[in-house]
Structure 1
Amino acid sequence: MNIQTKFHGDTEISNEVIYTFENGMPGFLDETQFVILPLEDTSLLVLQSVTTLEVAFIITSPFEVFPDYNVKLTDEVLTSLQIEAEEEVLVYTILTVREPFAKTTANLQAPIVINNKKRIAKQYITNDTSFSMRQPLIPNQEAK
């Protein structure tokens, strides 16, 4: 199938690469199907709605940028995503890209959690206040 994307234009995808967010995402409850596409010339990714061109989020693995990051999934999340093994889980964080890029922040309090085997996902809003919704991607840049 062909979809219109914010950063890649007209893109052909297969049903096998679609992730289903059964309850949508906060603020985008009607957006239930997404794909993950590479963002050209970067190590970042795009979480792109299959149905709405404008709904696309820049994401990255929080573990690559924040080595001390951890997220404890509740039993409710494990059940709703049908997670049976750790190997099935992918975790991403949504970035708020700013100019200059050094001021970009990551939302570590609400990661995207994916069961990669069953292709179901959700944005999990944690109660862990040790991580910020606006964590600077590059340390010591927030005041500059």
Structure 2
Amino acid sequence: MKIESQVFGTVDIPDDKVIEFPAGLPGFEDCKQFALVHEDGSTSSLFLLQSLDNPAAVFSITGPDRLGVNYEFGLTDDEAEQLKLTNPADAFVAVIVRKDEGDAGNPVTAGMRANFMAPLVINVSSRRGIQKIITRLGCDVTLRAES
């Protein structure tokens, strides 16, 4: 499938790389098919989750571990069923990150922000995903310093 990405231009996405989000993402319920894209040869741990339904819908994502965070939460039986998840090892967790538009001269507000209250969970085996909305902190988050 060929798509027009606002970031990468024309991109060919093989059918076996399409990730289905049956419920879409909050605010983007009509976007049900996505693909992870990045520049060829890139070693960055930042990927773009590109909607195949709406080329303007693209999200920067990364694994929490790449941010120095150990992040654990549970899934309901319904969420596991939506993902068709039978093996926990098939679950990939990612967070959406965005550039903070704060005061660039202030190190407290400049930089990147990650949304840990609405992580993406993708079953890499079935290529199905959900965005889990965490309404209260009921997960374990551990920050670790990089050496």
1:124 and 2:126 correspond = no
What's the Cα RMSD here? 2.2
2:30 and 2:53 in contact (8 A); partners too: no
**For 1:85-104, what aligned pairs fall within 5 Å after superposition?**
85-98=87-100, 102-104=110-112
**Structure 2 residue 6 is matched with structure 1 residue 10:** no
The AA in structure 2 aligned to 1:96 is R
How many residues align structurally? 132
Percent identity, please. Answer: 30
Which structure ranks higher in relative contact order (CA pairs < 8 Å, sequence separation ≥ 6)?
A: 2
Three-state SS of the structure 1 residue aligned to 2:69 is coil
Deviations 1:57-103 (Å, cap 9, x if unpaired)?
Answer: 00000122143321222222112111101121111100122355952
Q: What 5-or-longer segments of structure 1 have no aligned partner?
A: 132-138, 140-144
Q: CA deviation at 1:29?
A: 0.6
Tell me which residue corresponds to 2:79.
Answer: 77
User: How far apart, CA to CA, are the structure 2 residues paired with 1:20 and 1:61?
Assistant: 19
Regions of 4+ moved over 4 Å: 99-102
Taking the aligned partners of 1:93 and 1:125, their CA distance within structure 2 comes to 12
- For residues 53 and 27 of structure 2, what CA distance do their matches in structure 1 show? 15
> Could you tell me whether the CA contact under 8 Å between 1:6 and 1:48 is conserved in 2?
no
1:106 maps onto 2:108 in alignment: no
TM-score by length of 2: 0.80
Distance 2:126 2:43 in 1: 29
**Higher Cα Rg: structure 1 or 2?**
2
More moved, 122-131 vs 46-55: 122-131
Higher strand fraction (1 or 2): 2
- TM-score with structure 1 setting the length: 0.82
- The answer for the alignment partner of 2:142 in structure 1 is none
Unaligned 5+ segments in structure 2 are 140-144
